[in-house]
A and B are shown apart, each in its own frame.
Chain A
Amino acid sequence: MADTQSLAEKVANTQVWKAIFRHGPPNNARNRAAVVAGNVFLHLHPIKLKKSGVQLGYTWCMGGLTFFVFLALTVTGVLLMFYYRPTAEYAFTDIIGLREHVPLGIMRELHRWGAHLMVITVWIHMFRVFMTGSYKPPREFNWGVGVILLILTLLLSFTGYLLPWDQLAIWAITVGSNMAKATPFMGHGGPGAALARIGDFVMVSDKNDVRFQLLGGRFVGEAALLRFYILHCVFIPLVVAVLIAVHFWRVRKDGGISAPL
């Protein structure tokens, strides 16, 4: 009769286990170092770190949760893409179909609430980093990367808001994108735009200003839906992924989670 301990040891000694993990179970110093250093996902972590840095009372786990929710949003988002076509004709009915025809479907709920949650966790993460003075040297640059990531999180959420193509969506985006119209010099309703003209030739109009570039038109229509879809599903996530890599890399390079000097 093998007890569990020896069963675990047996498993850890099989050729398959060794092929995957290349080391024994992480119950001694050597293997604990090996499990973190030898695993592509875990090697984001340092092998050892100060005790203050693993305490929930210090970090609140908000940065980690933001990343976790980002991953959850990536997974649920990819699943949603199987059911969704970004055209004015199909977008809304595809969402209805998602609700009516997919059994036990909570993917859209998970995605939507996850998106809201990510905005909240990223804000509170920033608050924690500020309150512990973690932006101070040598972490100035990474704070800036974090601010950009926060803006991108809001833009991800904002671009996704349009995709259900219901009244809530197009009017929220209309309100939001109308701000772009007022950009100084670059929006046709903004200060200085009226100055940008040569004789009768108006250089900044509603046919070429920043809002037009954002929406692909003068109002929130089908072109805007496609643009927001690409921005939401491809462009911004790619930029965010790259910046997250920079962010994590710099956390490590700048000395890990902050602690008193």
Chain B
Amino acid sequence: MVKELINYLAEPVYSFTAVTAFFVYTIKKPEVVGSKKFGLYSLIAILVIFAWMLADPVFFSVISLPDNIPIIILNAGVLGTWWYAIHKGVENDKRIAAGEGPIEGTPENREKVWAWPNLVYTELFAGIACTVFLIVWAIFFKAPLEEPANPTWAPNPAKAPWYFLGLQEMLVYFDPWMAGVVLPGIIVVGLIAIPFIDTNPKGNGYYTFAERKFAIAGFMYGWVVLWIFLIQIGTFLRGPNWTFYGPFEFWDLHKAVAENNVNLAEYFWIKGLGMGLPKNIFIREIAGILLMGVYMVLAPIWLTKKWGQKYLQSLGTIRYYLLMFLVLGMALLPIKMYLRWFFTLKYIIAMPEFELNL
């Protein structure tokens, strides 16, 4: 009963919304999420729930695959460091508000210490601990080896390595040219551009939250919600044919899922205007083209008028519009996800003639 409920709620439309809601709460109330109490209770809750889930044979069979162990370590690392960074930021914010300055800047912490032994020994112990960790891991979990390569028989599902499963999950909502090329390109360009866009001089060299709220919110959304959480969906919730399966749901090859996604052009011409699709592809896709034009060109202008004037002033034109482009590019993903979930929308612009589907 509980397991069925969890299977149901794990559906991306609910789980993604829940993660997003929790993320928004974190940004709004970092002092709650970053408190020791919250951290401790969440840790206990996560451990108890995880132990309970492990007792389920179906969940255990997926989670105990040798190649999924790294994702458990990743999750522990991401959640732990995520909470810790917020915790440290909130502590520093309190100090800054009280006029004391960040903890990293106290006279005691500014004091210079010898690299030998302070730094060299830390590195040595970290290296030893890491070696022990790796050896234990290597002894208890054999590296996976399946049947010899057979180009004529594809396993189902055929999954990319886990660190690319976020991208593979995007394939549900976008064609490969977007999910595999354009969006990763935007990620790389966006990451490299961060220091040149973010002109806020505060928060350089210490943990803080309040002083860099916008930058932290943007980065964390991309990192935790879009990247890490999509990896979870792609790894644990996608079975044969990339169909959704709940964490306790057996990967039944014959699970039938109704796929009747509709292009925007069909909504516009057939359902909206009650006529057939025009022959000319550009006229046929006019609604999608206009919509994308509004989104990528008019929306930035409108947003600027409404809310962005002071940022435009402080960042300058190039920085500001680059930021707009990156944020809107990133937002395309959740927007397309919700359009799919709520309106079964397949493509906003569908031009298979040019392999250009968006």
Give the B-binding residues of A (Cβ under 8 A).
26, 29, 32-33, 35-36, 42, 45-58, 60-61, 64-65, 68-69, 72, 88, 92, 95-96, 99, 106, 108-114, 116-117, 119-120, 123-124, 127-128, 130-137, 139-140, 143-144, 147-148, 151, 154, 157-158, 161, 164-172, 174-176, 178-184, 187, 189-195, 219-221, 258-261
Contact = CB atoms under 8 A, between A and B. Distances in A.
Contact of B160 (A46, A51, A65, A176): A176
Contacts of B340: none
Given A53-B119, A260-B104, 18 more contacts: A48-B115, A49-B115, A50-B110, A54-B113, A61-B123, A106-B139, A113-B138, A120-B73, A123-B74, A127-B81, A135-B195, A136-B200, A166-B147, A168-B144, A189-B176, A191-B354, A194-B355, A260-B102
Interface of B: 67, 69-70, 73-74, 77-78, 81-82, 85, 88-89, 101-102, 104-105, 108-120, 122-123, 126-127, 130-131, 134-135, 137-139, 141-151, 153-155, 158-164, 167-168, 175-177, 179-182, 188, 191-192, 194-196, 198, 200-208, 212, 216, 219, 223, 351, 353-356
Contacts, number: 287
Contacts of A183: 177, 181
Contacts of B122: 54, 56, 61
A193 to B, nearest CB: 7
Q: Choose among B155, B192, B195, B203 the residue with the greatest number of A CB atoms under 10 Å from its CB.
A: B195
Query: Main SS of chain B's interface residues?
Result: helix
A15 B296 CA distance: 73
Contacts of A72: 130-131, 134
B148 A260 contact: no
A129 B143 CA distance: 32
A174 B158 contact: yes
B206 A132 contact: yes
A128 B81 contact: yes
Contacts of A60: 81
A110 B135 contact: yes
Nearest to B131: A72
Nearest to B209: A131
Nearest to B74: A120
B115 A109 contact: no
A64 B105 CA distance: 23
10 contacts: A36-B116, A68-B127, A106-B135, A131-B216, A132-B205, A157-B163, A161-B161, A167-B146, A167-B148, A194-B353
Contact of A147 (B119, B191, B198): B191
Contact of B195 (A53, A109, A143): A143
Q: Give the 10 A-B residue pairs with the shortest CB-CB distance, closest first.
A: A179-B180, A109-B138, A182-B176, A260-B105, A140-B195, A116-B70, A258-B205, A191-B356, A133-B203, A182-B177
